[in-house]
Each structure stands twice: as C-alpha cells, then as structure tokens.
Amino acid sequence: MAQVVLAENEKLESALRRFKRKVSQAGIFADMKKGRHFETPKEKRKRKELARHKQQRRLRRRQR
C-alpha cells in the first residue's frame, strides 16, 4: 500500500504528487486495469509474448 506522510510546511499538491509517483511505481494502476476484464489463456499468452518481444527490442537498442 502506498502511503505518504505530510511533512511540516509541505503543500498538499507536493504530497499528492509524491503519492501519485509511489502508486505508479508500485504498479497499482496496472493491476487494477489488468483485473477489469477476464483474460482468456490465449490472450494472456499473446500479451506476454508481445511484452517479451518489446523487452528484447529494448535490450538490443541499448547494446548498440
């Protein structure tokens, strides 16, 4: 669970910005989106395969 403690003399906007950053780093939004609809095993395999290819492309680009 993402939690942010408001420091002394800290504005609410900056604390909200820190909270949003922590939530996105924790992957909470991704989990929520993933659980919205049922995903068939075929769709899950396809999604994972696309992610694997995307990762490999990124790694190849970094090696150049």
What are the domain boundaries of the chain? 12-63
Taking a C-beta distance cutoff of 8 angstroms, is the pair 3, 16 a contact?
Answer: no
pTM above 0.75?
no
> Residue 3: which residues within 8 A CB-CB, separation 6 or more?
22
Cβ atoms of 2 and 28 closer than 8 Å:
yes
Contact by Cβ (8 Å): 39, 47 = yes
Q: How confident is the model at residue 2, as a pLDDT? A: 83
Alpha-carbon dihedral sign for residues 43, 48, 49, 50? positive
The per-residue pLDDT for range 7-41, each reduced to its tens digit, is 899 999 999 999 999 999 998 888 888 888 898 99
- Pairwise CA distance, residues 59 & 61, whole Å: 5
